[in-house]
Amino acid sequence: MTDPALPGLHVRPARGWVNDPNGLCRAGGRWHVFFQHNPHAPRHGRIAWGHASSADLAHWREEPIAMEPVPGGLDAAGCWSGCLVMDGTTPTICYTAVPDAPENAVGRTATGSADLSAWTRAGRPSAERIGPPGACTRDPFAVRIGGRRCIVQGHGGPGRTARVLVHDATDLSDWRLLGTLLDGRDDPVARELAPADVWECPNLVRIDGRWVLIVSLLRTNGGRALLAGVRWLRGELADGPTPRFVPHEGGTVDAGWPFYAPQVLVDGERALMWGWARELDRDEAWLAGHGWAGTLTTPRELHLRDGRLVSAPAAEYLAHRAEHLDGSWSVAEAPAFAVTTSGPGVLVCAGAEGPGRVELPGRAQVLVDGSLVEVFSDGDCRTTRVYPTAASTWRVLGGGTVSARALR
């Protein structure tokens, strides 16, 4: 039997480290997801861009690694997060190139073949290092503002104010800094709802005809970086020489501790989001024994409803629900499954490594794949982790009317 904790229907190579989703796109009849990846060890290190593709958002084919750090190059210490855009007919990755330390990162591009299998990196940065010593700028995300292509990046540092910077990226080889899109100190809504030293992985997107900014909160405490969740802000975008985002309301994207650094793909009128699900309380011995860490979440459709950003699993993923499961079921019977409940209950994994109970609110939809558990209820979502063993069984206690089906 394969590793019972390893998700099988999500973007997650069999070995190595995975974090942020990057470069989301649809091409050649397939969905493509790039991601932060260390193929050599189950921990963060010299990060590459992994690549997977799918025809149905559930069964993923591992593709060749798109980019790895080049010793002595602009990205010698890592090819960190970014996005993929079409520059005319040329697929182009815009990413964070780390030469040594994160505070020295620069913006860089790489152009790709039509099938997204081969990439050629630019010889010079598209955006030089910005800010005083200790400040960092990273995670480029492309968006059209007032008819021109722009790139937004997160900016900040230990004890500094989080900001989102905006660049004119009409020429992808030369991102021209326009100024600050949003300042986390000066804006009262952002200051209250999204306090951070750095806003990582900013996504500025149109959802249901309105502008939404999604930021991941990095805070520092005694020199230690703390990943403090993900927030959304809805507001107005004022175009001009320096575009400005003015938030009116916001909230939490996902209430689970493991969830971080999502990226959104706007495909026509549809907004699909993937996030990174971190491991929960796994020690070095566990990581070494299993050989992997991190996975991407189920793709989620985003909408604005009654002043809230709500999410639900992509319909294509749910289409893979198969036979019904009654009572309790083993990991061998159903390594991945979906549960719906009509009332409060508890999802229990007997024989789990560590905590094996997940509290369920009334009327929930729960998706489980290996150790990845995602609970959806009334538009809210909570990502958590439960680590089954080969001998584990699952069941729901309470929950009112319960329906469980395998996912194949």
Q: Which residues are catalytic?
A: 20
Distance CA 69, CA 226 (A): 25
| DSSP notation for 329-343 | EETTT-SEEEEEESS
Distance CA 309, CA 213 (A): 11
Q: Are 56 and 299 in contact (CB under 8 A)?
A: no
Distance CA 360, CA 346 (A): 5
Q: The tokens of 57 are what?
A: 């958002």
What is the four-CA torsion angle of 204, 34, 57, 381, rounded to 10 degrees? -50
Bridge partners, 33 (sequence order): 52
Q: Are 229 and 262 in contact (CB under 8 A)?
A: no
3-state secondary structure of 289: helix
Residue with tokens 């970014």: 82
State the Cα angle at 163 between 162 and 164, rounded to 5°. 140
What is the distance between the terminal CA atoms of the chain, rounded to a whole angstrom?
A: 16
CB atoms within 10 A of CB 72: 7
Using DSSP bridges, classify how beta strands 292-293 and 16-27 pair: parallel, antiparallel or unpaired. parallel
Distance CA 339, CA 325 (A): 9
In angstroms, what CA-CA distances link 40 with 6, 291, 293, 368? 17, 9, 11, 27
Bridge partners, 48 (sequence order): 37
Q: The tokens of 408 are what?
A: 């194949």
3-state secondary structure of 287: helix
In angstroms, what CA-CA distances link 102 with 40, 157, 387? 20, 10, 32
Residue with tokens 């939404």: 212
